[in-house]
């Protein structure tokens, strides 16, 4: 294939769009908001902790579902936020 043609150039410059990107952006925003709320006090903190510790996965914006769709590990997020113990530190002790 000739690489100096307009068709080739247009094809190469075309960015393939992911139809699910708006939903993934919303999921990222939900997760980011919950993580931000973990730094607050009171009801915002309690709601965020309840959300992040829930193992429910039957609705699309549940923590487990969001992690699945964003290819994230729920346990890692919980560990980083201090919600669960780090297994490596337990084994090292």
Please report whether residue 7 resides in a domain: no
**Domain coverage including residue 45:** 19-92
Of residues 73 and 92, the one with the higher pLDDT is 73
Total domain count for the chain? 1
Please report whether residue 84 resides in a domain: yes
pLDDT tens by residue, 10-57: 555 556 667 678 999 999 999 999 999 999 999 999 999 999 999 999
pLDDT(8) > 60: no
How confident is the model at residue 93, as a pLDDT?
36
76: left (phi over 0), alpha (psi -120 to 50) or beta: alpha
Tell me how far apart the alpha carbons of residues 24 and 34 are, in angstroms, rounded to a whole number: 15
Please report whether residue 81 resides in a domain: yes
How confident is the model at residue 12, as a pLDDT?
55
How confident is the model at residue 85, as a pLDDT?
80
Please report whether residue 65 resides in a domain: yes
**Mean of the pLDDT values across residues 77-88?**
83
Provide CB contacts within 8 A for 44, sequence distance 6+: 37
Supply the pTM of this predicted model. 0.70
Tell me how far apart the alpha carbons of residues 66 and 72 are, in angstroms, rounded to a whole number: 8
């Amino acid at each position: 294939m000739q690489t100096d043609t307009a068709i080739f150039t247009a094809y190469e410059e075309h960015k393939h769009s992911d139809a699910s990107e708006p939903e993934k952006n919303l999921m990222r925003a939900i997760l980011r908001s919950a993580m931000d709320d973990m730094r607050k006090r009171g009801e915002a903190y309690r709601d965020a902790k309840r959300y992040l510790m829930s193992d429910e996965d039957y609705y699309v914006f549940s923590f487990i579902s969001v992690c699945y769709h964003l290819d994230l590990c729920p346990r890692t997020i919980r560990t980083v936020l201090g919600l669960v113990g780090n297994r490596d530190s337990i084994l090292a002790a």
